[in-house]
Amino acid sequence: MDFVAIDFETAMSSFTSLCSMGICVVKNNRIVDRKGIYIRPEPFEFNPYNIKIHGIRPEMVAHMPTFDKYWREIKPYIAGKTVIAHNASFDIVALCATLDMYKIPYPEFNYLCTVKLSQKAYPELPSHKLNKLCDALGIKFHHHQAYDDAYACARVMLRILEDYSLMTLSEVEECFDMEIGHVFEGCHIKCRKHKKKISGGK
């Protein structure tokens, strides 16, 4: 299966305050590329709580490009791809909100949340937070570093594909009865843990 795992860190609670992005590319179930970038958030403000979580300080990104300047480089990793994120309700919303802020049209892509997926794949685990999940699956990484979080998310996805002998996104959707998320120009359809039931009858 081919997919791209992404992760964002933010300078504040705002979805648009992106200060770091991690990308991990998987082709034919093999990790073939990893990328991490620092981003200058707009406005240029940091919350001490966020700094404590990810360790990114204002001086580390003060001279880095803003997200819109990176977009030409980032877009090919996402457009037309299957994108995964751990807690996609944060990462995909952050991406869309930031694109909105810069008035950049959404690229078209499918996406899947590995929190929701791992909850269905490993219901016996007490926690599905990325660090706890990776501990249970034997995956080593540095938590809250976007470069490593994207890698860990990709490894979780690969482990689920292996454990359940799945090869395609449609097989994942069918096996776990999940609803895949979709993003396209002007629209964001959320990924859901359970498919919507279609009512019938008169």
Tell me which DSSP letter residue 43 carries: S
Phi, psi of 143 (to 5 degrees): -70, 145
| Angle separating helix axes 114-121 and 88-101, nearest 10 degrees | 170
pTM over the 0.85 mark: yes
Tell me which DSSP letter residue 198 carries: -
Q: Could you tell me if 94 and 10 are in contact, meaning their C-beta atoms sit under 8 angstroms apart? A: yes
Whether 199 has a pLDDT exceeding 60, the answer reads: no
Tell me which DSSP letter residue 5 carries: E
Q: What is the pLDDT of residues 40-70, one digit of tens each?
A: 999 999 999 999 999 999 999 999 999 999 9
Q: Give 195's pLDDT tier (boundaries 50, 70, 90).
A: confident
Q: What is the pLDDT of residues 81-114, one digit of tens each?
A: 999 999 999 999 999 999 999 999 999 999 999 9
CA contacts within 13 A on the Cβ side of 10: 15
Residue the block writes with tokens 């590995």 = 114
CA distance 197 to 194: 9
In sequence order, what E strands does 62-179 have? 82-85, 109-113
Q: Which domains does the chain have, with CATH numbers?
A: 3-189 (3.30.420.10)
Query: What's the pLDDT at 202?
Result: 40
CA distance 88 to 94: 9
